[in-house]
Amino acid sequence: MTTLPSQTDTKLGLVIDLDTCVGCHACVVSCKGWNTQNYGAPLSDKDAYGTPEGTFLNRVHSYEVQPDQGPAQTVHFPKSCLHCEDAPCVTVCPTGASYKRTEDGIVLVNEDDCMGCGLCAWACPYGARELDLMAGVMKKCTLCVDRIYNENLPEEDRVPACVRTCPSGARHFGDLGDPNSDVSKLVAERGGMDLMPELGTKPVNKYLPPRPKDTLDCGVALNPVAEEAKGFLGWLDNALEKM
């Protein structure tokens, strides 16, 4: 049985901690598995047991970043739909297949109405949509809408598959429209940030920058401090624009 929230200001989304993500791709595998077995048409694979090509709703990119001080470090950046408040993918869709739910803010695709034109993928500045070539329709992260409201599942499983499986606890799920929710408090405490805020899409999902770490005896920081982490997100914005 599915029970939808009555609040209209609910904004369900993810908070992703770039400080603790280890780039293991467990979230990618669990997302692929759950959405292939349980939601809509299976996510296609061209070569399931060889080169991992096909449709993924969640991906992890790894970058080597050189802080102003200290050694270079690898930062793992998970990427999926950000469920923007002002979602350009919804605006450009000619059939209305892409839509944003008023009850919880989740952006979805009605695959029966999608004609696979790809306009939403062109409009998304984050590269978060993928055309399933075998199905001929656009697919994206659904926040596992079929899990989070499913009362037949144990309460601890009523979260997106990627959150449930993350071994390092880098992914958090909740209502970012509620300032008293755990995820909202985490964003406030850690200085959570929007990706490409200058675009005005108002993404619901937030990223937490790397936290200050202990320093070596020579005084060189092992990881960038908060201000340098903000600089990393600016660098990441530029990297995504070139993808």
175: in domain: yes
Lowest-confidence segment of 31-45, 79-93, 95-109 by average pLDDT: 31-45
Q: Between 196 and 65, whose confidence is greater?
A: 196
Confidence at residue 144, expressed as pLDDT on a 0 to 100 scale: 95
185: in domain: yes
Residue pointed to by tokens 């958090």: 172
Q: Number of structural domains, the chain?
A: 1
21: in domain: yes
Cα distances from 87 to residues 3, 163, 203, in angstroms, run 25, 23, 8
Mean pLDDT of the chain: 83
Q: Determine the structural domain holding residue 48 and report its residue range.
A: 12-241
6: in domain: no
Centre a 10 Å sphere on the Cβ of residue 167 and count the other Cβ atoms it contains: 9
107: in domain: yes
Centre a 10 Å sphere on the Cβ of residue 81 and count the other Cβ atoms it contains: 27
Residues 191-195, mean pLDDT to the nearest whole number: 94
Residues 122-127, mean pLDDT to the nearest whole number: 94
Q: Between 124 and 3, whose confidence is greater?
A: 124
Instruction: Please check the confidence at residue 23 and state whether its pLDDT lies above 80.
Output: yes
104: in domain: yes
37: in domain: yes
Cα distances from 192 to residues 79, 183, 198, in angstroms, run 16, 10, 16
Residues 49-75, mean pLDDT to the nearest whole number: 77
State the pLDDT confidence band at 66, using cuts at 50, 70 and 90.
confident
Residues 174-179, mean pLDDT to the nearest whole number: 96
% of the chain exceeding 70 in pLDDT: 75
Residue 237 belongs to domain with CATH number: 3.30.70.20
pTM of the model: 0.81
3: in domain: no
